[in-house]
Chain A
Amino acid sequence: QLQLQESGPGLVRPSETLSLTCNVSGRAISSYYWTWTRQPPGKGLQWIGYIYFSGSTNYNPSLKSRVTMSVDMSENQFSLKLSSVTAADTAVYFCARYDFSSGGMDVWGHGTTVIVS
């Protein structure tokens, strides 16, 4: 059974880089797309970007200048880096598997809270 688990610091200082990792278990990371989505407190969902196992990426235009995603197939995990963070980046960050053919995110991690302060 496929499971995803986010990990990373829960507190990041303004202007620094937020770094999160999503560990994938129960299935190899290959042959799929993987996404990051975030949700500020009390607000809706915002797509951050997706990465294919090969390393090709597509980012939300509003975040593109600050986002970097990568895949580590040897560790079966993928990562998110968001630079120059501000309080507006405070959110719950979710990783998920993205089924490109249907356009849906069918397996999600539980989410991890990141506070910028």
Chain B
Amino acid sequence: EIVLTQSPATLSLSPGERAILSCRASQSVGRYLVWYQQKPGQAPRLLIYDTSNRATGIPARFSGSGSGTDFTLTISSLEPEDFAVYYCQQRSSWPPEVTFGGGTKVEIK
């Protein structure tokens, strides 16, 4: 099983600051790395797919990068609505499975 480790667990920042979230895989996942945002009481929302492609309607302040085992989600300037939990997720070819990271909570400082 491929394990995804997200860090930090919690990120305390102010609106307008830059957020950098990390996701590390226990083995290479190529570019099949996805990011979601989840707010309390809501379903996750797809932000980024294939490491760096923004999903439909996602603002340009969200960007993804990385390859292999190390990936990053960057929020260039935090808006009030960006305070939420962020999850990374991979889809491996072999074993053919999907796994999520443990999440990073971005909270207001």
A35-B49 contact, Cβ under 8 Å, with A103-B91, A105-B44, A106-B55: no
Fill in one digit per residue for A82-99: 1 if any B CB lies within 8 Å of its CB, else 0: 000000000000101001
Range for the number of chain A residues in contact with chain B:
20 to 34
Contact B32 A60 (CB under 8 A): no
A47-B98 contact, Cβ under 8 Å, with A102-B50, A111-B43: yes
Residue in B closest to A49 when the chains form the complex, CB atoms? B98
Contact partners of A47 in chain B: CB under 8 A: 89, 97-100
Per the CB 8 Å criterion, the residue count for chain B at the interface is 29
A58: CB under 8 A from chain B?
yes
Q: Which residues does A use to contact B, with CB under 8 Å? A: 35, 37, 44-47, 50, 58, 60-61, 94, 96, 99-100, 102-106, 108-111
